[in-house]
Amino acid sequence: MTDLLKFITCGSVDDGKSTLIGHILYDSKLIYADQAQALLLDSQIGSRGGEIDYSLLLDGLMAEREQGITIDVAYRYFTTEKRSFIAADAPGHEQYTRNMAVGASFADLAIILIDATRGVLRQTRRHARICSMMGIRSFLFAVNKMDLANYSEESFESIKSDVDALKRELNLQSAALMPLSATAGDNVTTPSVNMPWYSGPTLLEFLEEVETAEIRDSGLGFAMPIQRVCRPDASFRGFQGQVESGSAACGDTLTVLPSMEKAKVKALYLGECMVPEIFAGQPATIQLDRELDASKGCVLAKDASLKSQKRFAATLLWMDDAVLALGREYWVKVGTKLLPAKVESIEYKIDVNTGDHLPANVLEKNEIALCRIEASENLVVDLFRNSRSLGSLILIDRLSHATSACGVIEEIGGGRLEGVVFDDGKIRVETNLFDLFLFNPLSGTIERVRPEPSVYRLGDELPLKGRGYAYPGDFDAESEKDSIRIRNSRFAGFGPHESSVPLLSRHGLGVSENGLDPFEMYRSIIYSA
Partner 1 sequence: MTHLERLEAEAIYIFREVAAECERPVMLYSIGKDSSVMLHLATKAFYPEKPPFPLLHIDTGWKFKEMISFRDATAFEKGLTMLVYKNEDGARQGVNPFDHGAAYTDIMKTQALKQALTRYKFTAAFGGGRRDEEKSRAKERIFSFRSESHAWDPKNQRPEMWKLYNTRINKGESIRVFPISNWTEKDVWQYIRREGINIVPLYFAKERPVVFRDGNIIMLDDDRMKLFPGESAQMKKVRFRTLGCYPLTGGCESEADTLDAVIAETLAAATSERTSRVIDNEAAGSMERRKREGYF
Residues near partner 1 (CB under 8 A) are: 3-4, 32-35, 38, 42, 58-63, 65, 71-77, 79, 84, 86, 98-99, 101-102, 105-106, 134-135, 227-228, 230-232, 236, 238, 240-242, 269, 271-272, 281-283, 285, 296, 319, 331, 333-334, 336, 338, 388-389, 392-394, 396, 401-403, 406
Give which of 103, 111, 108 is closest to 20, Cα–Cα. Answer: 111
Identify which of residues 145 and 388 has a Cβ nearer to partner 1 in the complex: 388
CA distance 306 to 45: 57
Q: Work out how close the CB of 127 gets to partner 1 at its nearest, in angstroms, rounded to a whole number.
A: 16
Q: Which is nearer to partner 1, 96 or 475 (CB)?
A: 96
Minimum gap (Å) between residue 370 Cβ and partner 1:
18
Contacts of 299 (CB under 8 A, 6+ apart): 223, 224, 225, 226, 256, 257, 306, 335, 380, 390
At residue 79, the 3 state secondary structure works out as strand
Distance in angstroms (rounded) separating the CA atoms of residues 251 and 484: 38
* Min dist. Cβ of residue 74 to partner 1 (A): 5
Q: Looking at residue 301, what DSSP letter applies?
A: E
* Comparison of 197 and 236: residue with beta carbon closer to partner 1: 236
Minimum Å gap between C-beta 209 and partner 1 is 17
- Nearer Cβ to partner 1, position 10 or 159? 10
Residue type, 421: V
Nearer to partner 1, 213 or 394 (CB): 394
Q: Which of residues 33 and 260 has its CB atom nearest to partner 1 in the complex?
A: 33
Residue 214 beta carbon to partner 1: minimum distance, rounded to whole angstroms: 13
- DSSP β-ladder status, 253-257 and 261-270: antiparallel
CB of 392 to partner 1, least distance (A): 5
Shortest reach from residue 199's CB to partner 1, in Å: 32
In whole angstroms, how close is the CB of 344 to partner 1 at the nearest point? 21
- From the CB of residue 286, how many other CB atoms can be counted at a distance below 10 Å? 26
Specify which residues 447 forms β-bridges with: 438
Q: Which residue number, 35 or 47, has a Cβ lying nearer to partner 1? A: 35
Which residue, 72 or 476, has its beta carbon nearer to partner 1?
72
Q: Which is nearer to partner 1, 218 or 431 (CB)?
A: 218
Residue 350 CB, nearest distance to partner 1 (Å)?
18
Residue 276 to residue 247: CA distance in whole angstroms: 11
Measured CA to CA, the distance from residue 393 to residue 247 in angstroms comes to 24
CB of 416 to partner 1, least distance (A): 26
254/508 Cα distance (integer angstroms): 39
Distance CA 169, CA 153 (A): 24
How many angstroms separate the CA atoms of 16 and 147, rounded?
Answer: 13
Contacts of residue 124, defined as CB under 8 A and 6 or more positions apart, other chains included, come to 11, 12, 112, 114, 166
Determine the 3-state secondary structure of 416 from DSSP: coil
DSSP string, 232-292: SSTT--EEEEE--BSEEETT-EEEEETTTEEEEEEEEEETTEEESEEETT-EEEEEESS--
Please state the separation of Cα 103 from the chain's center in Å: 14
Angstrom distances, CA of residue 309 to CA of 93, 170, 342, 376, 404: 37, 29, 14, 10, 22
* Residue number with CB closer to partner 1 (7 or 106): 106
Based on CB atoms, which residue is closest to partner 1, 69 or 525? 69
Evaluate whether 480 touches 430 at the Cβ level (below 8 Å).
Answer: no
Min dist. Cβ of residue 413 to partner 1 (A): 22
Nearest to partner 1 of 16, 91 (CB atom): 91
The residue among 10 and 406 lying less far from partner 1, judged by its C-beta, is: 406
CB 147 within 8 A of CB 184: yes
Tell me if residue 76 falls in helix, strand or coil.
strand
User: Whole-number minimum distance, CB 62 to partner 1, in Å?
Assistant: 5
Task: In angstroms, give the least distance from the CB of 410 to partner 1.
Answer: 16
| Cα–Cα dist 69/481, whole Å | 56
Contact 473, 528 (CB under 8 A): no
What's the distance, Cα to Cα, between the start and end of the chain in Å?
70
